[in-house]
Chain A
Amino acid sequence: MTETLTMAGAAELKFRDPAQARRLAAALEQVSAEIGRAPVSVMHVCGSHEQSIAKFGLRSVLPRSLNVIMGPGCPVCVTDLPEVDEAVVLAEDGVRIATYGDMLKVPGTVFSLSDAQARGGKIDVVYSAAQAVELARDTTEEVCFFASGFETTAVATAAVALSPVPPNFTILSAHKYIPPVMEIVAEMPGNKVEGFLAAGHAATITGSRIFERFVEKHRIPVVVAGFEPLDILAGLVKLVELVRDGTPEVVNMYPRCVSPEGNRNAQEQLWKVFRTVGGKWRGIAHVPNGNLRLRDEFARVDARRRYSIDLRRLWTHAPATLTQQCICGDIMAGIASPTACPLFGKTCVPDAPVGACMVSSEGTCKIWHQYGGHPDL
C-alpha cells in the first residue's frame, strides 16, 4: 500500500516528525534535570494544547520532574451554570439554539442543552457562527447562536454581528477572554506555576506582546506555542530554559502564525462588537474582565435584550450535593489533579458528568479519564 494512506503520512508533515520529537524530548529531560529540583511546574492555558498532548501521547515522554498542569483553558468547561441555564430556558421557550457540539452536555443548574433536546427543545450543532446565520436564513423560527470560546472564536462571532443578519437571529454570548484569568491563577494562593505556555491560536489575534505586562508584573515567563507535537515540545523546552535561567520573558515560539502585535483587523472587529465584563468562570473564581458581552450598539442581535430570560425560576433549587464535592476549580487552577477528586471516575464520568471538566473533549478530567494519564503503558 502507498505510504500516504497511513497515519504515517501525517509524520511527513513538518511538525509531526517522531525523530525530531525524540530529540526535543531528550532536550527537555536535559534542561529539566539542570534545574536540579523537582517538581518544576508549568501551566498551559489552552484545551487544544492538552488535546494535542493527550492525542499524541506526549505525557508519556515528559520528564518525571516536570509537572505540566492543565490550566483553565477550556472555554466550554468554564462556562458558568447560569450561562447554560439561559440557553436552556430559551430552548424550552421554543427558541432554536445553534451551538458548538461540545456545549451540549455542559451541565446547567438543572438541565444541560442535551437534556433540553431530549425534552423537546430544538438544538442544532454548528461549526461556525456563519453557519448559525445560514440556519436562521433558512427558517422562520427564532434562532439563537449560543456562542462560546476564547478570543479566536469570539472574532468569528464579531464578524457575524457586524454583517447583515436576518431579524430572527440573535447571539447569546458566553465568550471568555484569556489574559485576565492568567492574572487570577498567578495570584491564587498556593499556586506553584513557574511558567505559562500560552495558546498560539488566541495569540494570533491578540499578538504575543499582550503578555509583556503580565510577565513584568508577575516575573513569570510566558512562551507562545502552537499545537503540533513538535510545537508543544519546543515550547516546553524554551519555557523550562527560561525557568532554569530565571529570565522572565515573553518568547514567541509560534512565529509562523503569531506576530508581536497580532491581527489588528480582528482586534478591531472584536472590540467593536464586544466589551469585557467581570463574571464567574465555573469552578475558578470571579474573573474581572473575563467575559465578553455584546456592546449596546449590538442590542438588536443580543439575545439577552431581545428576550426576557427569566432565570429566577431556577434559583429556587439548591445545587445538587454532588456539585458541591466537585473540585474542578482546584483542578483548573493547577492545585489538584483529577485523581484527587472523590467523584472522579466513580460518580463523575463522561457519560454523566458532575463537573464541567468532565464534559468537554478539552476538559482536564475528561481527557484524564479517556486517555488515562497512564505514562506507564
Chain B
Amino acid sequence: MTTTLEPRASVSPREEFVSLKHGAGGRAMRRLIAEALTQGMTDLPVDGVGLAAMDDGATLRVGDQWLVITTDSHVVHPVFFPGGDIGRLAVAGTVNDLAMMGATEPKGLTSAVVIEEGFRRADLERIQRSMLETCREAGAPIVTGDTKVMGRGELDGIIINTTGVGLTRAPVRDAGLRTGDRIIVTGTIGDHGVALMARRHHLDLDGDLSSDVAPLNGLIRAALAARPEAVSAMKDPTRGGVASALHEMAEKANLGIVIDETRVPVHPVVRSAAEMLGLDLFHIANEGKAIIGVHPDHAESVLAAILAHPLGKHAAIIGTCIADHPGRVILDTGFGRRLVAEPEGEPLPRIC
C-alpha cells in the first residue's frame, strides 16, 4: 500500500493520457485526432480529398482520374474469431475503405506486420493463407510489405497494417447526402462486434454467431453500376457501428436522418445476444456492410442490384434524409421516436 494518488490537477487526469475511449470511433476519438494528430497537417495543400475531410481515405488527382488511397492498422482480440481472423480483416478493411470512395478495383495493397516474440508460427501461416484467400476474393494483390518482431509483452500478439490504392473517375464521399435521399444498409447489422464480444467474454452463444468480415468491392461495384449518378454517399459502419457512421454522414451533409427501426435487418441470434449483453446494435462494429445514400427515384433499382449480390441478400432501405434536425439521427422504433445516441467509448455491457 505505497501508491499515492496525485491531486486533481488543472488538467483533468483523464485527459493527460490516451485511453481506450479515444480509439472507439466516437466523438472522443475525433477530438483527439483533431487536437493531437492532424494539427497543421490539414493546412498543407492537397489536390483532392485530404486529411481535413476525415473521410474513409484520400483522393489525389492523377491525370484525368483520382487515385484513392487509404490505410488501416488492424488489431483484434482474439486473432481468430468466428467467421474470420485478423488476416481477412486486414485485407477486407482496406479494400472496403477504397470501395466506399468509389475505387472498387484495387490496384494493390501493402502489408506491414508487427509480431510479438513467441507468436506461433503455425498461426502466422494460417493468417497468411487467410490474407491470400481474401486477396483473391477481392481481386486485390499485396504488392509490397514489411515485417518487424518485437519483444514479448511489447504488443499483444500481432498488428497488421494495410494500405491500399485504386483509381476512379467518380469518387464518392461520405459527406454527399441530400435531402430526400434514401439510406440503404447492405445487410444485417452488429454481426462482427457481437460475435467477437461473445467469444471474448466466453459467452456460450457462439453457435450461430459469426463475423460478417468480407471484401465489399464487388457488391459496391454492382450498386454503382446500377445507377452511378444516384449514389450520393457511402460509408462502412465499422468501429462505432451504424450510429457513428450515420452521425458523421448527417453532420457532414448538415441534414437529419430518420431511421425506421422495424426495417433494419438484424440476425435473430445477434439480437438476442445483444439484448442479453445490454448492447445497442447501432453501436456495434460491422466489417462487411455499407451504408449507402441513394436518390429516392433510384433507391429501389440500386437496392435490387445489391440484393442480387451474394453479400447483399439482406439489404434494405432503412431510412430517409430530411432537412429538419440537421446533424441528428432519429430512430422511429414503431412505439415512438428518439434520437440515436452516438457511441461514447467502447461498448460495455450493462449490469441490470
What is the interface of chain A, defined by CB distance below 8 A to chain B?
Answer: 1, 4-11, 18, 21, 46-48, 51, 54-61, 75-76, 88-89, 92-93, 100-105, 110-112, 114-115, 117-119, 125-127, 131, 134, 148-150, 152-153, 201, 229, 307-310, 313-314, 316-317, 320, 350-352, 360-362, 370-372, 374, 377
Known A-B contacts A61-B336, A351-B344; the reply to A110 vs B8 at CB < 8 A is yes
List CB contacts (< 8 Å) of B107-162 with chain A: none
List chain A residues, Cβ under 8 A from B2. 93
> Is B277 interfacial (CB-CB < 8 Å)?
yes
> Is B265 interfacial (CB-CB < 8 Å)?
yes
Q: Is the CB of B262 within 8 A of A8?
A: yes
Q: Is the CB of B4 within 8 A of A370?
A: no
Q: Is the CB of A57 within 8 A of B333?
A: yes
List chain A residues, Cβ under 8 A from B12. 352
Contacts A6-B266, A8-B334, A313-B5 supplied; 15 other A-B pairs, CB < 8 Å: A7-B262, A9-B266, A55-B333, A57-B333, A60-B337, A61-B336, A100-B350, A101-B348, A101-B350, A117-B19, A131-B202, A149-B351, A313-B4, A350-B344, A352-B15
Q: Among B36-44, B46-54, B65-73, B324-332, which stretch is in contact with chain A?
A: B324-332
Bound-complex Cα distance A105 to B2 (A): 24
What is the 8 Å Cβ interface bit string for chain B, positions 237-272, against chain A (1 contact, 0 not)? 000000000000000000000000111111110010
Q: Is the CB of B14 within 8 A of A352?
A: yes
Q: Is the CB of B313 within 8 A of A47?
A: no
Distance to closest chain B CB from A213 (angstroms): 25
Distance to closest chain A CB from B207 (angstroms): 17
> Is B236 interfacial (CB-CB < 8 Å)?
no
> Is B63 interfacial (CB-CB < 8 Å)?
no
Most buried by B among A47, A56, A317: A56
Q: Which chain B residue shows the least CB distance to A62?
A: B336
Q: Is the CB of A48 within 8 A of B352?
A: yes
Distance to closest chain A CB from B21 (angstroms): 7
> Is B45 interfacial (CB-CB < 8 Å)?
no
Bound-complex Cα distance A93 to B342 (A): 35
Q: Is the CB of B337 within 8 A of A57?
A: yes
> Is B62 interfacial (CB-CB < 8 Å)?
no
List chain B residues, Cβ under 8 A from A131. 201-202
Q: Is the CB of B314 within 8 A of A1?
A: yes
Bound-complex Cα distance A7 to B325 (A): 24
Distance to closest chain A CB from B325 (angstroms): 7
List CB contacts (< 8 Å) of B289-342 with chain A: 307, 313-316, 325, 330-339, 341-342
List chain A residues, Cβ under 8 A from B261. 7
List chain B residues, Cβ under 8 A from A149. 351-352
Q: Which chain A residue shows the least CB distance to B256?
A: A377
Bound-complex Cα distance A293 to B7 (A): 29
Q: Is the CB of A5 within 8 A of B266?
A: yes
List chain B residues, Cβ under 8 A from A102. 348-351
Q: Is the CB of A11 within 8 A of B4?
A: no
Q: Is the CB of B335 within 8 A of A21?
A: yes
Known A-B contacts A59-B336, A92-B3; the reply to A127 vs B349 at CB < 8 A is yes
Q: Is the CB of A118 within 8 A of B335?
A: no
Bound-complex Cα distance A7 to B319 (A): 14
List chain B residues, Cβ under 8 A from A112. 14
List chain A residues, Cβ under 8 A from B333. 55-57
Q: Is the CB of A152 within 8 A of B339?
A: no
> Is B188 interfacial (CB-CB < 8 Å)?
yes
Bound-complex Cα distance A94 to B107 (A): 50
Bound-complex Cα distance A201 to B351 (A): 12
Q: Is the CB of A58 within 8 A of B267?
A: no
Identify 25 residue pairs between A and B in the complex whose beta-carbon atoms are under 8 Å apart, listed by A's number: A1-B265, A1-B316, A4-B268, A6-B266, A9-B268, A51-B352, A59-B338, A60-B337, A60-B338, A102-B350, A104-B348, A110-B7, A115-B19, A118-B20, A125-B349, A126-B201, A127-B203, A229-B335, A308-B1, A320-B8, A351-B26, A352-B12, A370-B339, A371-B338, A377-B338
Most buried by A among B26, B278, B313, B316: B278
Q: Is the CB of A374 within 8 A of B335?
A: no
Known A-B contacts A11-B334, A352-B14, A370-B341; the reply to A148 vs B268 at CB < 8 A is no
Q: Is the CB of B351 within 8 A of A100?
A: yes
Distance to closest chain A CB from B263 (angstroms): 6
Distance to closest chain B CB from A255 (angstroms): 20
Shortest Cβ-Cβ A-B pairs, 9 listed: A101-B348, A57-B336, A370-B341, A57-B338, A60-B336, A372-B339, A8-B262, A100-B351, A377-B337
Bound-complex Cα distance A340 to B5 (A): 33
Bound-complex Cα distance A361 to B188 (A): 24
Bound-complex Cα distance A134 to B351 (A): 18
> Is B82 interfacial (CB-CB < 8 Å)?
no
Q: Which chain A residue shows the least CB distance to B203?
A: A127
Distance to closest chain B CB from A233 (angstroms): 9
Distance to closest chain B CB from A98 (angstroms): 12
Distance to closest chain A CB from B183 (angstroms): 15
Distance to closest chain B CB from A197 (angstroms): 15
Bound-complex Cα distance A377 to B325 (A): 8
> Is B6 interfacial (CB-CB < 8 Å)?
yes
Bound-complex Cα distance A7 to B342 (A): 20
Bound-complex Cα distance A112 to B338 (A): 30
List chain B residues, Cβ under 8 A from A6. 262-266, 316
List chain A residues, Cβ under 8 A from B28. 351
Q: Which chain B residue shows the least CB distance to A201?
A: B352
Distance to closest chain B CB from A154 (angstroms): 11
List chain B residues, Cβ under 8 A from A1. 265, 307, 313-316
Partner pick for A11 among B21, B262, B348, CB 8 A cutoff: B262
> Is B27 interfacial (CB-CB < 8 Å)?
yes
Partner pick for A57 among B332, B349, B350, CB 8 A cutoff: B332
